[in-house]
Each structure stands twice: as structure tokens, then as C-alpha cells.
Amino acid sequence: MAEEKKVVIKRLESAKVLGKFMADYYYELDHASKTGEKKVAWCTSVGPAEILRAMGFLVYFPETHSAMLGSSRMATDLIPKANAIGYSPDICSYLTADIGAYLEKVSPLAKVFKGIEGPPKPDVLVFNTNQCRDVQDWFAFYAKEYNVPLVGVHSFVGVQDVSEAHVKSVAKQMEEMIPALEEVSGTKFDIDRLREAVALSRECSDLWKEVLDTAAAVPSPITFFDGTTLMGAAVVGRGTQKANDAYRILLKELQERIARKEGAIDNERFRLYWEGMPVWGRLSAHAKLFAGLDACVLASTYCNSWIFTALDPEDPFTSMARAYTELFIVRADAPKEKYIRDMVDFFKVDGIIYHDAKTCPNNSNCRYGMPQRLEKDTGVPYLTINGDLNDLRLISDEQTKTNVEAFIEQLEERK
């Protein structure tokens, strides 16, 4: 059994810049919601945010609120409130925690940001089912509650190769949203404004990729656990200059760490990849658990999900359709496995952790033999952790700790 040691989590200075970005973002939304000075659109995390920005909406992403409900450990008590009105405990615990918070009129935003009581009221809700069907049901609940329009893209799932037919269908659906959005915003759609938003979004994506790619350095200057909080600006701020400015500062700090050969954890001996959702209520505990075993969880599919290299301002609708369909979560197992094999090589990974999140089958890739196939292909061993993104009743901390320690011992023997 590995000996326990005291672990101090190293903070990045630029995390403060990203924190300020998030605070400004929520205050601007809150102001708009209270004054009506700007219209607010709610959007799914990999929905067509660029179109909404181009039409002058401020864009709010309920998934970030749900992640805060998880990380503040408010979610577990709120989920039963949504269960009581018919949303099963087996479906997305982002959805159930968020609806539970709405029903109870509570929000982690109120705890973190003085003067903000909760999420901004929507003028319109916009989804893309590229990630799952749950987002549509989630937004449909709020469309009824707030009596506002609901528009969306019905995407493909389990896509083997992204074809012209896929791209055309999604691009057309995005174009067809425009009249409804014009009506809500009172603004005429302007293709040049969309080009600008797509250009800024692409820049954000490129910067975020550069940030995450620094983890290929040995030792890695960043962990997956850092990434889960630093990615906020890539999720909510893509398409804005401010997000790009914040990432430039972060990137510089990471490059300085690399130049000094300073790792995100002391004594990096094992390099791990995280596949699946984070356990929001255990971010710090997991960061310490792995660091205490000299294991750096340094890269993940999850943080990489906000990299959209297909975005092209010259061809905004088609490139958005492609970018939002090429995503990992949309794809069949074969392209997913190729993706993970490339990640394992690029980041020089010793082992893969799969998080089997009970309420998110869409982001749990260990249920149909993928870990076994990848281990056979790459020789890189894996561990599956059973848990959940938000519902802490589905987590056994003792079991996780025992399994992770045993896995690191296994890696040690291979060294």
C-alpha cells in the first residue's frame, strides 16, 4: 500500500485572471437580466454560441451552473427535488441538480458573487443535441417555466466519418434558427458579425489547445484538475476577445513553468489520461489523491472538448456545423479510439483513468469494451472509476482510493 503524504496543490497565478473573467461574465449577465438592456440566450455547452453572439445576445450556459452545483457540493441535496417532479435519478445529474436548484430557488452564484441571486432569465433557449438528448429536455423545462422560445439543432450521434450530408444538415438547421432569433433579439442577422464571432471563437479554441498541449512537456505544467476550472472561459467566453486575452496570460505562465522545468505536481512519476466527466464534488480530493501518489493526471478528453479546429470565418455556417459534429462525444467508438490513441502518444501517457459516470452514459466510454480494446492496442493499462459528475451518493471515496492506489502500484511494477 502506498504511503500517504501531505500534498499541497500548486495554484497558477493566472487562475486569478480566469476567475476575474468568470466574475465579469456573470455580473454582465446579471445586469442584463435585471435591466433588460441586452437579451440573454441560454445555450448548451457545445451549442451554436457564435450565432447568438453575432446577434447581440449575452450567452449563458446552464452546464457551468450545474458544474458549480457539483463543485460546491450543493447538487446531491437538490437532485431529489427534480426527481420528485418526474426527472429520474438515472438521467443527467447536471439536469436534475439544475432543475432542483431552480425549484428550491438556490444557486452557488449567490454564494460566490455578491449581489447575484441566481442565473439570468432567458429570452430564448438554444440547444444542440450533439452531446445528448438530455439538454433538449432540460431546456424544454425552462422554455415552459419562462414562457420563451426554444430552438435547437438535432444532431447526429455515433458518427463514424463526418460526411458532407451530416455537415449540410446541421448547417441548414443552424441557418433556419435565424428568423426565430431575429424576432427575439430585434436585430437583423449580419453575416459579417457571425464571421467575427467565428474568428474569435477559433482563436479561443487555438489558444485553449495550446494551453492543454503544454501538458506534453515532462513534467507537465498543468493537470486535468487545473484544466476543469481554467476551461470556464473556453466554454462561456468563446467568441469574445476577453477570453482570448485571459488565455494568452495563462499560456505564458505555463510556458514559463516549462522553461523552469516546473511540474504542476512535485515529483511527476506517472502520467495519466482522464477519460470522462470530472467528479465535480471531488476535484480537490482527486487532485490530492493522484499527486500524493506522484501521478499527474495531465490530459483529458473532457477539457479537449472545447477545441474546434474546423471553425473558419470564411465559411461560418458550414465550418460551425463541421466543428460541432466532429466532436468526440458525437462520434462512433472507432474514431473515439483513434483519438485516444493519438492522445496517449502525444502526452506520453502511462495509464488511462475511465470515469464511469452513472448519470452520463454519453460521456462514459467504458461500457462497450473500449478500455480493453485500447489496452490491447497500446499496451497502456487502464482503471475504471465508478462515480458520477454531480451525485455524490453514487461515489465511494474509499473504493476509489483503494483502486487508484492499486493501479499506481501496477504502474510502478511496470517501470
Nearest-angstrom CA–CA distance, 78 and 263: 38
Pick from 94, 139, 247, 308: which binds ligand SF4 (CB under 6 A)? 94
* Coil vs helix vs strand at 96: helix
> Which residue, 134 or 326, has its beta carbon nearer to ligand SF4?
134
> Which residue, 22 or 327, has its beta carbon nearer to ligand SF4?
327
274: which strand partners? Answer: 300, 353
| Residue 360 binding ligand SF4, by CB under 6 A | yes
Q: How far is the CB of 384 from ligand SF4 (least distance, A)?
A: 17
357: which strand partners? Answer: 387
Nearest-angstrom CA–CA distance, 56 and 34: 17
| Residue 92 binding ligand SF4, by CB under 6 A | yes
**H or E segment at 257?**
helix 241-259
> Which residue, 138 or 247, has its beta carbon nearer to ligand SF4?
138
CB contact at 8 A, 304 and 275? no
| Residue 167 binding ligand SF4, by CB under 6 A | no
In Å, how far are 117, 170, 225, 230, 298 from 269, measured between CA atoms? 44, 44, 17, 24, 12
| Residue 356 binding ligand SF4, by CB under 6 A | no
Q: How far is the CB of 274 from ligand SF4 (least distance, A)?
A: 15
| Residue 61 binding ligand SF4, by CB under 6 A | no
Options 152-160, 171-179, 246-254, 357-365: segment touching ligand SF4 (CB under 6 A): 357-365
Residues in contact with ligand SF4, counted by CB under 6 A, come to a total of: 11
Pick from 30, 123, 134, 203: which binds ligand SF4 (CB under 6 A)? 134
Q: How far is the CB of 339 from ligand SF4 (least distance, A)?
A: 17
* Coil vs helix vs strand at 275: strand
> Which residue, 75 or 233, has its beta carbon nearer to ligand SF4?
75
| Residue 362 binding ligand SF4, by CB under 6 A | yes
> Which residue, 132 or 299, has its beta carbon nearer to ligand SF4?
132
| Residue 303 binding ligand SF4, by CB under 6 A | no
In Å, how far are 72, 101, 106, 391, 392 from 388, measured between CA atoms? 15, 18, 22, 6, 7
Options 4-12, 29-37, 287-295, 359-367: segment touching ligand SF4 (CB under 6 A): 359-367
Options 48-56, 360-368, 378-386, 400-408: segment touching ligand SF4 (CB under 6 A): 360-368
Pick from 135, 181, 204, 289: which binds ligand SF4 (CB under 6 A)? 135
Nearest-angstrom CA–CA distance, 401 and 113: 34
In Å, how far are 69, 92, 366 from 357, measured between CA atoms? 16, 9, 10
Q: How far is the CB of 170 from ligand SF4 (least distance, A)?
A: 18
Nearest-angstrom CA–CA distance, 181 and 223: 39
> Which residue, 85 or 191, has its beta carbon nearer to ligand SF4?
85
151: which strand partners? Answer: 126
Q: How far is the CB of 287 from ligand SF4 (least distance, A)?
A: 21
> Which residue, 70 or 313, has its beta carbon nearer to ligand SF4?
70
Classify residue 7 by burial, with Cβ atoms within 10 Å: 0-12, 13-18, 19+: middle
| Residue 132 binding ligand SF4, by CB under 6 A | yes
| Residue 363 binding ligand SF4, by CB under 6 A | yes
Site string for ligand SF4, 375-394 (x = CB under 6 A): --------------x-----
> Which residue, 135 or 272, has its beta carbon nearer to ligand SF4?
135
CB contact at 8 A, 397 and 282? yes
- Helix 134-146, helix 62-71: angle, nearest 10: 100
User: What DSSP designation does 392 have?
Assistant: G
Using a CB cutoff of 8 Å and minimum separation of 24, what contacts does 309-315 make?
309/202, 309/205, 309/206, 309/209, 311/50, 311/198, 311/201, 311/202, 311/205, 312/198, 312/202, 313/195, 313/196, 313/198, 313/199, 313/202, 314/195
Binding site for ligand SF4 (CB under 6 A): 92, 94, 131-132, 134-135, 277, 360, 362-363, 389
